[in-house]
Amino acid sequence: MRQDRALIMAIVNRTPDSFYDRGSTFGRDQALAAVERAVADGADIVDIGGVKAGPGAEVGVPEEIRRVVPFVTEVRARFPDLAISVDTWRHEVGRLACEAGADLLNDTWAGADPKLADVAAEFGAGYVCTHTGGAAPRTRPHRAAFVDVVADVVDEVTSRADALVRAGVPAAGILIDPTHDFGKNTWHSLELTRRFAQLTGTGWPVLAALSNKDFIGEALDAAVPDRVAGSLAVTAVCAWEGAAVFRAHNIAETRDVLDMVAVVSGRKAPARAVRGLA
């Protein structure tokens, strides 16, 4: 991974019912245009998903494959050096996506399908270890409770990461993700943000998937279109605490935040520094 700033994982939803874009990148041409914009704006990784995270219309394995796999093939052909992630919990989708050129499996539902890890080991793909508090795929939290949510997250994702290495998944390709909102209420997600250093302190690179999520909306009483400033604020907090990758919708704005945090922290030089020198 590059050292001067955190990486950006752009979200491209091949779904007609995304909470954020409402299907604007469901079509093939629109999705390709979104990838091109993301790369131009500074994305290092593109995360392609074919199923809405929350409750909604049933999407079977064949339909998820139809939405995701040919698109991965096309993105790989157009961008041979771009890191491609696939957001899926199903091993059938993961296998075909890896065959098509995916580099990373973003298992948003925390091992709901144990065979997905076997696919990552077989193909040498990277893997995102997530935490959902035991929630089933595509369900919303209901009275989620933890004695200590940060301790619970750290224990689960690090144990999962260690198990993946034993199973043959390359350690260098593993990310841990506290998975804000998934299986958690707003207080839990705020606590994870406040104590983010405990996650980065594990030694595993941490993926922060914060963009426009409900905990930001509830914190600010903001509808989805009005969550950009809040998203960038928590991005800055987590970047300062050492997050390695940010999964984001607003790529150019996120890039500016990450560059600024990197400059303030001393990891990156200012793009231009002439004030008071001439």
Say if 46 falls within a structural domain: yes
The model's pLDDT over 78-136, given as tens digits with 9 standing for 90+, comes to 999 999 999 999 999 999 999 999 999 999 999 999 999 999 999 999 999 999 999 99
Say if 90 falls within a structural domain: yes
What's the CATH number where 187 sits? 3.20.20.20
Say if 273 falls within a structural domain: no
The model's pLDDT over 126-142, given as tens digits with 9 standing for 90+, comes to 999 999 999 999 999 99
* pLDDT score recorded for residue 2: 52
Residue 193: which domain range? Answer: 7-265
**Residue 53, φ and ψ in degrees, nearest 5:** -65, -40
* pLDDT score recorded for residue 19: 86
Asked whether the predicted pLDDT for residue 211 surpasses 70, the reply is: yes
Say if 275 falls within a structural domain: no
Q: Is 272 exposed, middle or buried (0-12, 13-18, 19+ CB in 10 A)?
A: exposed
Say if 271 falls within a structural domain: no
- pLDDT over 70 percentage in the chain: 99
Distances (CA, A) of 196 to 54, 106, 237, 257: 25, 20, 8, 17
Cβ-Cβ contacts under 8 Å for 21 (sequence gap 6 or more): 13, 249
Instruction: Using a cut of 0.85, tell me whether the model's pTM lies above it.
Output: yes
* pLDDT score recorded for residue 21: 85
Q: How many domains does the chain have?
A: 1
Say if 160 falls within a structural domain: yes
Q: For residue 125, what are its two tokens?
A: 């793909």
Q: Is 79 exposed, middle or buried (0-12, 13-18, 19+ CB in 10 A)?
A: middle
> Could you give the 3-state DSSP secondary structure of residue 46?
strand
Asked whether the predicted pLDDT for residue 59 surpasses 50, the reply is: yes
Asked whether the predicted pLDDT for residue 70 surpasses 90, the reply is: yes
Say if 209 falls within a structural domain: yes
Banded model confidence at residue 1, pLDDT cuts 50, 70, 90:
very low
Banded model confidence at residue 278, pLDDT cuts 50, 70, 90:
confident
Mean pLDDT on 163-169:
97
Say if 270 falls within a structural domain: no
